[in-house]
Amino acid sequence: MNLANTIREVPDFPQKGILFYDITTLLKNPQALKESIDQLTEHYRDIKIDAIAGIESRGFIFGMPLAYNLGVGFLSVRKPNKLPAETISESYALEYGLNTLEIHVDAVEKGQKILVVDDLLATGGTAKATCKLIERLGGEVAGLAFAIELTFLKGREKLSQYEIFSLLQYDK
Amino acid sequence: MNLANTIREVPDFPQKGILFYDITTLLKNPQALKESIDQLTEHYRDIKIDAIAGIESRGFIFGMPLAYNLGVGFLSVRKPNKLPAETISESYALEYGLNTLEIHVDAVEKGQKILVVDDLLATGGTAKATCKLIERLGGEVAGLAFAIELTFLKGREKLSQYEIFSLLQYDK
């Protein structure tokens, strides 16, 4: 099946001039949901991965079924003050202002290979901050997986040292 | 395996006097992650369900692998201004102030049987608002599933018309 046909394009969200690629219509479709998770699973089945890092909150959506299928653990990378135990944090620049992400200090064991999962690769700032958090804890980034990649925002350039896989690519 | 042994108890989170049951230590453990999803799948395998509604954001964690295993669609119930297309909303009282949840108006088809999934059943306010959203769209709540139920907060009483399943129960 063609997953792209299940994505809804919403103009002017979250702000004027932005075309938003909406995954809720993909997830609502049982065949598309299954196909998206199966494609991710197939891509990573023979790659050594110890755990999946899902980025809040749509990274949880694709990351958890993948962790289940691969038989590995799952850790969450979250906005500030959501994780209950000891954390470290990374901040990164947005167009206006800063964003901050946190990870539990015990989420990653030294030397573990961690696959980062999110719904969207745009400029790559969120993914890059997540990789830094994993590496500060002694983990190794095994790769990054996304449902949607906005190729015109060149997020891959910011993440050029990592293997990147995306289910759908948009060039505008 | 005993899932309860994988839950971390964090005192005074998110505020003084609250004992927080942390699922990140369950999810980090590949066997516990698999066991939790398998128990949910087993419970619902023979019940007629058309889609899973996951409540932002930890409801996504348990809801998506369950949707995948049951071969149904997934819809998200989110905090305000996160869903890109047309929504309806429900507000409910917290100890201090109000919380609001939104759902896409096209997330539920009339007559569909929807299973609501979240990580935690506490007082039941969030779950109740979610059920109202589904019913306002013409859906039927097929049941509610939680990883953790705080039985002393009596959330079941607020949801007495629904079937409720939880993996772990705590009475204090």
Catalytic residue among A35, A56, A95, A157: A95
ipTM of the modeled complex: 0.97
Q: Which residues of B touch A51 (CB under 8 A)?
A: 28
Q: What percent of chain A has pLDDT over 90?
A: 96
Question: What DSSP element (H or E) covers B126?
Answer: helix B125-136
Quick check: A109 contacting B, CB < 8 Å? no
pTM over 0.80: yes
Nearest residue of chain B to residue A51 (CA atoms): B28
Residues 110-129 of B with CB under 8 A from A: none
> What is the per-residue pLDDT across B73-119, written as a single tens digit (0 to 9) for each?
999 999 999 999 999 999 999 878 899 999 999 999 999 999 999 99
Q: Do B68 and A68 touch (CB under 8 A)?
A: yes
Q: Do A64 and B65 touch (CB under 8 A)?
A: yes
Of the candidates B170, B84, B116, B51, which has an alpha carbon nearest to the alpha carbon of residue A30? B51
Q: Which CATH class is domain A47-170?
A: alpha beta
Q: Which amino acid is at B164?
A: I
A58 catalytically annotated? yes
> What is the per-residue pLDDT across A29-77, written as a single tens digit (0 to 9) for each?
999 999 999 999 999 999 999 999 999 999 999 999 999 999 999 999 9
Question: How confident is the model over B2-9, as a mean pLDDT?
Answer: 98
> What is the per-residue pLDDT across B24-47, written as a single tens digit (0 to 9) for each?
999 999 999 999 999 999 999 999
Q: Where are the domains of chain B?
A: 47-170
Helix residue spans in chain B (DSSP H): 24-28, 30-44, 58-70, 125-136, 155-158
Question: What DSSP element (H or E) covers B27?
Answer: helix B24-28
